Amino acid sequence: MPSVDIAERPIVYFGAAAPSDIAPGSVPDIWDRSWEIALNEAPQRDLCSVLSQMIGKTLHPKDPAKLTPDEKALQQMLRAYEAFFEDTACLEDMDIRRNEEDKIEAAQFNQRLAQDFTLLGIRRDPQAMEAAEFLVEATNALAETQMQFGRECQRVLDGARAQAALYLTLGRQGCVLAPDPDDPGEVETWDVHGGADLVFLHKEADGKCVIHLIDAKSQFGQGSGGFFIKNDSPRVEASNLSADEENPQVLAANQSIVGQLTALAARGKLDYGEVRITKEDIKSARLRKQTVYMPTDLEIIHLDGTMLPGCEQELIAKILQ
């Protein structure tokens, strides 16, 4: 079932302590020198092979005494973020436009990363926050050197931060759900086919429930902008989705999502604050699909998902209008 309350989930990518002997700004030089060594030693010169060579040699050296100072410094960083770097490198080898399994795997990674950032805002764990801050600053520094892998790391981190900030903001206005990233079938239905990174439910002044299927995107590479909302469909009755959706795959996904919401409502799992959302509310709800483009500037959206004063109200107003 979808993650109604993700607070109990483990932190996947920020669980270890941040490196203590490296400054984030020094990472590009350390990385570049180690990368050149791995590039000459890897069996192939593609990104995933070179990164695997670099990680393998650094984390599991035949003779630890022969590691260069750069490699010893890099060892700290890779031990802290091995899962993140390996998963990001794998994205480069995926054909997410044509291969369904690759699409699902990439979506699972993005959902796990977004939930890690969401948990930063929920738990306020100092060690996890420090680890996330180091990773974001280090990958931003890598990206500034125009290194391809650094740009890719920055892109996935920005996308996850945007989704997390959206989740936390909407959670203060209604009920928010995200697919379980460990359930490939659910990620396929919600994210890949349904186009919903998250689902937001709330009741309007007339007591009618509205279901928002939201595709969260960062404004990566577009500078610092405001919030842009694209309404991908008019409001339709959740009981009559076929009236607006002609794609059978998307229609089946949307119907499945509504079915899961109905089951959760019957168990009282969609209530928020003093507001109850029943299965009858879901059956008569209005549904709309939206793409929400979020800024990624750390001065606007902080690592814990909080925003500059006034930004949260602006975002909510645009989504609800």
Q: What is the pLDDT of residues 246-302, one digit of tens each?
A: 688 888 999 999 999 999 999 999 999 999 999 999 999 999 999 999 988 888 888
Contact 47, 92 (CB under 8 A): yes
Q: Please, which pLDDT band fits residue 130 given cuts at 50, 70 and 90?
A: very high
What number is the average pLDDT over the span 13-19?
Answer: 89
**Integer distance in angstroms from the first to the last C-alpha of the chain?**
30
Distance CA 184, CA 194 (A): 14
Q: Which of 167, 59, 56, 53 is nearest to 110 (CA)?
A: 167
Question: Tell me: the pLDDT tens digits for 182-227?
Answer: 999 999 999 999 999 999 999 999 999 999 999 999 886 555 567 8
Label residue 245 by pLDDT band (50, 70, 90): low
Amino acid type, 86: E
pLDDT on residue 243: 55
Please tell me the predicted confidence (pLDDT) of residue 246. 66
Residue 41, both tokens: 């030693």
Task: Evaluate if residue 111 carries a pLDDT over 90.
Answer: yes
- 224 near 168, Cβ under 8 Å? no
What's the pLDDT band for 233 if we cut at 50, 70, 90?
A: low
Reported confidence tier of residue 146, pLDDT bands at 50, 70, 90: low
Say what the pLDDT of residue 201 is.
96
> What is the reported pLDDT for 7?
78
In terms of C-beta density within 10 A (0-12 exposed, 13-18 middle, 19 or more buried), how is residue 69 classed?
A: exposed
pLDDT digits (tens, 9 = 90+) for 157-166: 999 999 999 9
Name the residue ranges covered by the structural domains of the chain.
15-167, 175-320
225: Cβ contacts below 8 Å, ≥ 6 apart: 219, 293, 295
Q: Which helix (H) or strand (E) holds 248?
A: helix 248-266
Q: What percent of the chain has pLDDT over 90?
A: 45
Mean predicted confidence (pLDDT) in 15-26? 87
Torsion of CA 240, 246, 248, 251, to 10 degrees: -40
Angstrom distance (rounded) from CA 304 to CA 120: 5
Q: Classify 215 as helix, strand or coil.
A: strand
Burial class (CB in 10 A: 0-12, 13-18, 19+), 309: exposed
- In sequence order, what are the beta bridge partners of 272? 275
Cα distance between residue 71 and residue 63, in whole Å: 12
Give tens-digit pLDDT for 35-69: 888 888 888 877 778 877 888 888 888 888 888 88
Say what the pLDDT of residue 131 is.
Answer: 94
Please give the C-alpha separations between residue 282 and each of 123, 209, 240, 257, 263, in angstroms, as whole numbers. Answer: 30, 7, 12, 11, 10
Q: Is the pLDDT of residue 25 over 60?
A: yes
Angle between helices 69-92 and 126-144 (to 10 degrees): 80
Task: Specify whether the CB–CB gap between 152 and 42 falls below 8 A.
Answer: no
| Helical segments of 6-99, H only | 27-41, 47-59, 69-92
Per-residue tokens: 218: 């960062």
Mean pLDDT across the chain, nearest whole number?
A: 86
Average pLDDT over residues 127-144: 92
DSSP label at residue 301: B
* Beta strands 286-294 and 209-218, pairing class: parallel
- Sign of the C-alpha dihedral computed for residues 234, 230, 172 and 161 taken in this order: positive
Is residue 147 scored above 80 in pLDDT?
no
Of 25-34, 229-238, 269-278, give the lowest mean pLDDT range: 229-238
